[in-house]
Structure 1
Amino acid sequence: MAKPQTVDDYIAAFPIPVQSRLRELRALSRASAPLAAEGLKWGNPAYSSGTILFAFAGYRGHSNFVFTPSTREAFTDELTAFTTGKGSVQLPHEEPVPADLLRRMIAYRIDEFENQHILWR
């Protein structure tokens, strides 16, 4: 299978139910960070403004939304129902997208980058 060249290619490579979830995450990302450039980084959809702000990735049973560790840590109390990693939040496909929480995390990450100059690490 060819490596995806665009976000559309990336999404199209998944089964239909996963595509639906990824389209939802893409729409939320674009609406929440309208000035960010969309592209593929590390083979996954990512949004950047000179540096990567956040990314998401699809898997068979879940999607990951990935921020800086500092952004993820700022929402620790609200993420107790989710499996998390250093900077990631795992979103099971069978659960609704926590859109409000993700919007607030994206806003935090953008503010963190613009005002605190915290780069992706």
Structure 2
Amino acid sequence: MGPVSTYLGTVDGAERAALERVYAIAHKMVPEAEEGTSYAMAALIYRGKGLIATVRARKFLSIYPFSGAVVAGNLDLLADFETTTGSIHFSVGHQLPDATVRRIVQARRAEIDAKSR
């Protein structure tokens, strides 16, 4: 078990399923990503960089793509969600659509690939 699996083991029910869904979409898109940690969060790691993390907070769930540019570049898809410079908040009852998660993961992967060249 890696850090993501261990973290998910601490979350129950529908919240866990919502977080697992994000990781599953990301891992399907970037199968070479591995479980690890980035900024002290359990995350999928790609080329040594944080690809994506999901976290349960007291009042919401969050996605962290480890890039303010990725969040800012996808604000058109995030109008119905609260965002910060580096995170996107959602809930079990109001989850990000699969296409939005895919676009965020794709943007972050492209960013990592561009910096790795």
User: Partner of 1:89 in structure 2?
Assistant: 88
User: Partner of 1:80 in structure 2?
Assistant: 79
Q: Per the alignment, in what secondary structure is the counterpart of residue 102 of structure 1?
A: helix
Q: Which amino acid aligns with 1:101?
A: T
Extract structure 1 runs of 4+ deviating beyond 4 A. none
Q: Distance in 2 between matches of 1:42 and 1:108?
A: 19
Q: Is structure 2 residue 29 aligned with structure 1 residue 32?
A: yes
Does the 8 A contact of 1:53 with 1:110 survive in 2? yes
How far the C-alpha of 1:59 sits from its partner, in A, is: 2.7
User: Partner of 1:41 in structure 2?
Assistant: 38
Q: Report the more deviating stretch, 37-46 or 84-93.
A: 37-46
Q: Could you list the runs of 5+ residues in structure 2 that have no partner in the other structure?
A: none
User: Partner of 1:63 in structure 2?
Assistant: 61
Q: Per the alignment, in what secondary structure is the counterpart of residue 101 of structure 2?
A: helix
Q: Report the more deviating stretch, 77-86 or 56-65.
A: 56-65
Q: Distance in 1 between matches of 2:48 and 2:39?
A: 16
Q: Distance in 1 between matches of 2:24 and 2:16?
A: 12
Change (3 A) 1:82 1:12: same
How far the C-alpha of 1:80 sits from its partner, in A, is: 0.9
Q: Distance in 1 between matches of 2:28 and 2:104?
A: 13
Q: Per the alignment, in what secondary structure is the counterpart of residue 76 of structure 2?
A: helix
Q: Let me know the Cα RMSD of the aligned residues.
A: 1.9
Q: Which amino acid aligns with 1:56?
A: T
Q: Could you list the runs of 5+ residues in structure 1 that have no partner in the other structure?
A: none
Q: Tell which structure's C-alpha radius of gyration is larger.
A: 1
Does the 8 A contact of 2:63 with 2:87 survive in 1? yes
Does the 8 A contact of 2:18 with 2:95 survive in 1? no
The count of aligned residue pairs is 113
State the TM-score, normalizing by the size of structure 1: 0.80
